[in-house]
Amino acid sequence: MKLNVKPSLVVSIPKRSYPIFVGVDIFENVDYSQFFIGNKALIVTDDHIAPILLDRVTKTLSKFADVDFLILKSGETSKNMETLSRIHSKLIENNFDRSSTLIALGGGVIGDITGFAAATYQRGINYIQLPTTLLAQVDSSVGGKTGVNHPLGKNMIGAFHQPLAVVIDISFLSTLSDRQYCSGVAEVIKYGLIKDKDFYSWLIENIKMLKCRDHSALITAVEASIQIKAAVVAADEREENIRAILNFGHTFGHAIESFQRYEGFLHGEAISVGMILAMSASGLLGQTSDADLDLLTNALQQFELPVNVPKDMTKEIFLDYMDRDKKVLDGNIRLILLKSIGHAYLESTETKPLLDKLFKTL
Ligand SMILES: NC(=O)c1ccc[n+]([C@@H]2O[C@H](COP(=O)([O-])OP(=O)(O)OC[C@H]3O[C@@H](n4cnc5c(N)ncnc54)[C@H](O)[C@@H]3O)[C@@H](O)[C@H]2O)c1
Ligand SMILES: [Zn+2]
């Protein structure tokens, strides 16, 4: 076995820089000895992923540490304080200490809760992200946002805690459902729109390759996405300014997800509609064209992503949910819009007049 995989990039945060490895079937060829400071590791995963990947991952990591595992019930409902407490109990009962390492093997749910367990156990221990959904590979595994949901609000309890490394093995995606895969594609398209016109054009030209999960197209798409996320996170780790552009389409999308009580659209599906609305708003300001909107609509539809506001969601409902959003300040909403393709910015605007105009275009 050659442990010779080199990182595709490094997230440069002072004192907390970390490597991101991207490739196909690279998982076995990363030298994990550089990350483990103690000899104990706990893999946290869910009951969909465990039968598929737990043996493979345990076998490799056992060469570097004593490996134990904890299998959670899959799904967003596991992302809560009770589950967090289960992880902590497992760590305490098995004498894990500050030199121990947590391994998040899963999608964004597992990544967020495991990262938060690592942030909070004995005031912070190391963790490694092994993302298994496209959304987690291009988004949630990088950037250090960790946390759980509270009965009164999603992601309300959390911490910034950067991982020690992120290993993105594209082969992990082979068992992911089409719907989950396409939901992740929405975030990939987002990166092109907010920061990289050339990447966006490449995506449009390579829709067919991405649809059939062609490995080389996926590596290009994941690396480009992560590069954008890593650069934005390095510039603004705690979302005090520029990091907000990663929320393009998300203010509208979050309103849809909350209205549907997280039981309707998947996250990427809600963001798909959100991006259409955000681009329409950019169009109303004369910044993007009808042709831009048509191109985006067509691209999203090719991935079977929704592009229309759910029928039962009126302008008034949007207004209600958007005004509850954390981004509202003095009745003005801070929306991420596009100056042009590849150039996102923060626009502060009154919610109601904007929605009045926007709904006339729908
Ligand atoms: N921390 C961040 O910066 C950040 C960013 C975006 C989203 N998130 C969070 O991420 C979560 C959503 O993540 P997600 O979309 O990955 O959902 P998820 O973790 O619930 O995974 C989706 C489903 O796919 C299954 N699955 C995962 N990998 C699989 C594989 N390889 N093969 C077969 N099935 C597999 C899971 O068991 C689950 O049923 C949300 O809680 C959201 O808040 C966090
Ligand atoms: Zn998102």
Distance CA 335, CA 337 (A): 6
Whether 237 lines ligand 1, by a CB cut-off of 6 Å, is: no
Catalytic annotation on 88?
no
Ligand in closest contact with the CA of 270? 2
Whether 169 lines ligand 1, by a CB cut-off of 6 Å, is: no
pLDDT along the chain (362 residues), means of 10: 89 94 97 93 98 98 97 97 98 97 98 98 98 98 97 93 98 98 98 98 98 97 97 90 93 94 96 98 96 98 98 92 73 89 93 89 83
Out of 247, 257, 269, 347, pick the active-site residue.
247
Q: For position 63, what pLDDT does the model report?
A: 95
Whether 171 lines ligand 1, by a CB cut-off of 6 Å, is: no
Q: Read off the tokens for 330.
A: 């003095």
Catalytic annotation on 240?
no
Q: For position 323, what pLDDT does the model report?
A: 81
Whether 145 lines ligand 1, by a CB cut-off of 6 Å, is: yes
Catalytic annotation on 243?
yes
Letter string b/e over residues 50-67, b meaning 16 or more CB atoms within 10 A of that residue's CB? bebbeeebbebbeebbeb
Catalytic annotation on 229?
yes
Please state, as a whole number, how many other Cβ atoms lie within 10 Å of the Cβ of residue 49: 23
Provide the CATH topology of domain 9-175: Rossmann fold (3.40.50)
Ligand in closest contact with the CA of 80? 1
DSSP assignment of 109-167 equals HHHHHHHHHHHHGGG--EEEEEE-SHHIIIIITSS-EEEEEETTEEEEEEEE---SEEE
CATH 1.20.1090.10 residue spans of the chain: 178-361
Q: For position 197, what pLDDT does the model report?
A: 98
Ligand in closest contact with the CA of 247? 2
Whether 147 lines ligand 1, by a CB cut-off of 6 Å, is: no
Distance CA 207, CA 343 (A): 22
* Class in CATH terms, 178-361: mainly alpha
Distance CA 265, CA 68 (A): 35
Atom of ligand 1 lying closest to residue 172 CA = 31
CATH 3.40.50.1970 residue spans of the chain: 9-175
Catalytic annotation on 247?
yes
Shortest-distance Cα residue to atom 21 of ligand 1: 107
Shortest-distance Cα residue to atom 22 of ligand 1: 107
Whether 153 lines ligand 1, by a CB cut-off of 6 Å, is: no
Whether 32 lines ligand 1, by a CB cut-off of 6 Å, is: no
Distance 88 CA to ligand 1 centre (A): 21
